[in-house]
Structure 1
């Protein structure tokens, strides 16, 4: 199977619930975000372009694209960044990571990875999140895992579960009967930086 996500940009309202639920479920340290929501509108962040009643702003949630042909995997010298053979999810092995950040340099999607320069810190003094989420470590690269601790148990990623406008869809892109495969087959979509040849597993309905 090849897990992937479809995001309906016509529904997305830029509320950042996906980013917050990701941060909570995965116990992300202070200053670390695996999901961000970019805005395309006026000159300032999350402002509209145009004038009423035709003003508009578009939102694009961005995280690891879990590419079918991931550039990051090719450059990792120790195999810490790898593609899970059963799910297609691009994962990180924190215990193997040597902190060289080659994966960050090779990834064409700016900002989807972060590097822990110091011991992970939390504003409340301790980590929260799913009990089986991987603990965070100093001097390693982190990124979205499609909530592997959940999806490996047949559950859905936290960002999809809590989206208030149902803008996210999750499933097996190789299963023609899955919701995500049907949406990709019947709706117009775009992918981020298709010319890079990475073949992302995240589709944006437009």
Structure 2
């Protein structure tokens, strides 16, 4: 597989540079122009920042269930700078992971079809066998949440536990492990699902919606701080 990846990249580079189109222009043009059809289900998630305590139980559960190697992570919980004055100091915690975009830029630029959106669930996933390690999807993702798995040598990211917990009829590992119930998962196409109801009941925001990616990771903003769009 190493040899085939090398040959592929050499050929791809030759095509790009002989046509006079830079890699950045190629990615930029395809990222926001294409659109994708929705399937019968659209799995999404809400991270309630008002309930998150930054314990990182979710990251550890994700690593264990999905056998994520040390040194890389499918999701991160990031802590803000201190807010308020001593002794009334507070922190904001936010989730950084794949947004499972309805219009996913990573899938538009993948030359082998390794990056794709599952037509049945709307989950953006990676076929490690098809991945040639070109890195186009890493560069195209505006959320910078993809990485190369040091064991499979393929692009990797959160897949909502599609191949593990979801396959067994469970919720994603992060949702099951959260002690404060800060994570809610479900079908956005179902108006009666918990995730759909939560989005209706609470103020939510999504990251970088102006790019047209239509992310399916919603966040309930912490009481303090700016709501980002």
Report TM bin, short chain.
0.7 to 0.9
Q: Where does structure 1 lack aligned partners over 5 or more consecutive residues? A: 42-47, 121-136
Aligned partner of 2:68 in structure 1 is 28
Partner Cα distance (2:76, 2:159) in 1: 14
Structure with more of its chain in helix, by fraction: 2
1:142 pairs with 147, 150, 156, which one?
A: 156
Aligned partner of 2:173 in structure 1 is 158
Partner Cα distance (2:196, 2:83) in 1: 33
Aligned partner of 1:97 in structure 2 is 131
Q: Which has the larger radius of gyration?
A: 2
1:32 to partner: Cα distance: 1.4
Q: Where does structure 2 lack aligned partners over 5 or more consecutive residues? A: 1-40, 222-229
Aligned partner of 1:131 in structure 2 is none
SS of residue matched to 1:189: coil
Aligned partner of 2:43 in structure 1 is 3
1:53 to partner: Cα distance: 3.5
Aligned partner of 2:220 in structure 1 is 205
Q: Tell me which of the two structures has the higher relative contact order, counting C-alpha pairs closer than 8 angstroms and 6 or more residues apart.
A: 1
Partner Cα distance (1:200, 1:194) in 2: 7
Structure 1 segments, 4+ long, off by >3 Å, are none
CA RMSD of aligned residues (A): 1.1
1:83 to partner: Cα distance: 0.2
Aligned residues between the structures? 180
1:181-206 deviation digits (Å, cap 9, x = unpaired)? 00111210011111121111111012
Aligned partner of 1:132 in structure 2 is none
Partner Cα distance (2:167, 2:68) in 1: 19
Partner Cα distance (2:180, 2:108) in 1: 37
1:56 to partner: Cα distance: 1.8
> Map of 1:64-75 to 2, 5 A cutoff?
64-75=98-109
1:49 to partner: Cα distance: 3.0
TM-score where L is the length of structure 2: 0.76
Partner Cα distance (1:186, 1:164) in 2: 22
1:84-108 deviation digits (Å, cap 9, x = unpaired)? 0000000100000000010000000
